[in-house]
Copies of this chain bind each other. A is one copy, B any other.
């Protein structure tokens, strides 16, 4: 017998809308304050829905977070797909700098920049969130690894592994700097340029 508490599975449009509205409100509030300081009652009230309704769509506050994580995951997938894409790889075979630039653009353009911060926060606290983050990062690291593998000459697989870890770290650091630190638009451009150049240098030098 199925022990899951049966949360409403919205079939009709109205129901889906309401569920989405709850999710949206929750996300908004989680971003504004933070997961721990947002109450389910508040989410319900701000959505303009009774607490009972909220709990008919979600079995718990955790469940709301889980759905949000799921959505985040799903919104991240196309970005990964784009990057992992054969075409882009082919196109960038001979032009590492463009590949790098493209990669960084994809990561920077990822939606949910603000919710991403909540995820980062929660990854310190909620194991499930930690795993999600790790999975995402590993996927990107693997992608970089594959690209390097293709280009490597006198470099061992081991070295490439380390290099891809480090390059992923640098790329992430750069993306974070661009997304979350307050810089003017022109500063951002410069930082991005410098960042890409520097990482490119690193790759060129170590992958001779």
* A positions within 8 Å CB-CB of B: 6, 34, 36-37, 45, 117-118, 120-121, 124-125, 158-159, 162-163, 165-166, 169-170, 172-174, 176-177, 187, 190-191, 194-195, 197-198, 201-202, 205-206
Q: How far is the CA of A80 from the CA of B120 in the complex (A)?
A: 27
Specify which of B120, B176, B190 is in contact with A124 (CB 8 Å cutoff): B120
CB <8 Å contact, B201 and A197: no
Specify which of B6, B172, B201 is in contact with A202 (CB 8 Å cutoff): B201
Q: How far is the CA of A120 from the CA of B130 in the complex (A)?
A: 14
CB <8 Å contact, B174 and A169: yes
Chain B residues near A165 (CB-CB < 8 A): 177, 191
Chain B residues near A177 (CB-CB < 8 A): 165-166, 169
